[in-house]
Amino acid sequence: MNQITFSQAVEGYLLAANARHLSPHTLEDYLNTYRKFELFLVKDPPIANINSHHIEEFLKNQTVSKKTILNYHTGLSALWTWAVKEELVESNIVHKVARVKPEKKAIAPYSQDDIQALLSTLNQSKRYTRPGKKECSHSLPQAERNRAIIYLLLDTGLRASELCKLRIHEVDIKNQRVKVMGKGTKERILPFSARTGQVLWKYLAQRKGATAGDALFISKTGRPLTRMTLLHLLIGIGKRAGVKGVNVHRFRHTFAINYLRNGGDPWSLQMILGHSSMETVKIYLALAQADLEKTHKIASPVDNWRL
């Protein structure tokens, strides 16, 4: 029987996955799953000794969302698929464990008021009072960077990972477009509005000494933004603005729904969002259609004139 341990198998799989140029985001998620599973196993047994019961118990004992459980299942299945090809195990035991169905969360785009509230809080902190002093506020750092992030997310529907990976040379302000490397290393060119171009220009004008190969968006320490840093800064902006549930994906939803509301077609939206199928776009279509029906009831001359 093969005595390659679980941790050794993980090391081998990650080498193979890197050679296949699997996305860093996917590898990061998989590695997180493998670490959690290794802690669950306590010891580091041969991968051939692990059975579907171990997988089932591991997934059952996780206090996370169903979507995250599904991600764990996917990551473990990828490892065992590779292990079968390498003849480290006889079969993919993860296939014997039922996949959970994640909760379908309602899509809640930002309203125009939400976006204006977020933008209004970028320059100054909330007013506060110090002991013995008058009420005051202070200027906030990175205001132009944060404004550029909000405009670009809202105007293109970029994913968080795509935004964080952008380099300065991939933004063509003159021609109003940005080159994006999406999932599966698929490249796409996305247009943006003249107003977004102005905001990006103002932000980049402050980046003294920046070169074309530098990250477009950087932290206060000068390092490229990570998805977690991006999420935290947006949550902070949301708290100051009084807008609940601020996250990157809501900008993507907001872009998609308004693209359809304002006359964009679903096929070009699919290309812009970088989806391999129309399934997600159909959800946005249904929401946009519901908006049209609601608006029609308000605006219909037959109803309004009571004919």
- Phi-psi label, residue 87: left if phi above 0, alpha if psi -120 to 50, beta otherwise: left
- Residue in 54, 165, 252, 253 annotated catalytic: 252
Look at residue 216 and give its three-state secondary structure: coil
The domain spans of the chain are 6-96, 112-127+136-299
Say what the pLDDT of residue 128 is. 62
Percent of the chain with pLDDT over 90: 60
- Average pLDDT value for the chain: 88
- pLDDT tens sequence across 71-110: 999 999 999 999 999 999 999 999 999 998 877 666 788 9
Report the DSSP pairing between strands 171-172 and 135-136: unpaired
Cα angle vertex 236, ends 233, 240, to 5°? 140
Q: Which of 33-42, 150-159, 209-218, 285-294 is predicted with the least confidence, judged by mean pLDDT?
A: 285-294
Judging by beta carbons within 10 Å of its beta carbon (0-12, 13-18, 19+), is residue 8 exposed, middle or buried? middle
- Residue in 36, 95, 261, 275 annotated catalytic: 275
Look at residue 126 and give its three-state secondary structure: coil
- Binned at pLDDT 50, 70 and 90, residue 291 comes out as low
Average pLDDT rounded to a whole number, residues 176-189 = 86
Could you tell me how far CA 10 lies from the centroid of its own chain?
25
Quick check: is 188 catalytic? no
- Binned at pLDDT 50, 70 and 90, residue 132 comes out as low
Quick check: is 21 catalytic? no
pLDDT at 235 over 90: yes
- Residue in 159, 165, 250, 253 annotated catalytic: 159
- pLDDT tens sequence across 9-32: 999 999 999 888 777 778 889 999
Say what the pLDDT of residue 24 is. 79
Residues 6+ apart with CB under 8 A from 11: none
- Residue in 95, 207, 249, 261 annotated catalytic: 249
Place of tokens 């997310």: 153
Quick check: is 13 catalytic? no
Average pLDDT rounded to a whole number, residues 127-143 = 70
Quick check: is 249 catalytic? yes
Place of tokens 């909760």: 103
CA–CA gap between residue 252 and residue 291 (Å, rounded): 18
At what angle are helices 6-19 and 66-85 packed, to 10 degrees? 90
Nearest CA among 30, 91, 96 for reference residue 57: 96
Quick check: is 177 catalytic? no
Each residue of 104-139: b (16+ CB within 10 Å) or e?
eeebebbeeebbebbbebbeeeeeeeeeeeeeeeee
pLDDT at 232 over 90: yes
Average pLDDT rounded to a whole number, residues 154-183 = 93
pLDDT at 297 over 70: no
- Residue in 183, 227, 240, 261 annotated catalytic: 183
Q: In the numeric block, which tokens belong to residue 6?
A: 């679980």
- In sequence order, the β-bridge partners of residue 191 are 177
Helix (H) or strand (E) holding 178: strand 177-181
Quick check: is 20 catalytic? no
Cα angle vertex 119, ends 222, 206, to 5°? 35
- Beta strands per DSSP E along 247-299: none
pLDDT at 1 over 60: no
On whether the 112-127+136-299 domain is CATH 1.10.443.10, my answer is yes
Helix (H) or strand (E) holding 181: strand 177-181
| CATH no. of 6-96 | 1.10.150.130
- Binned at pLDDT 50, 70 and 90, residue 276 comes out as confident
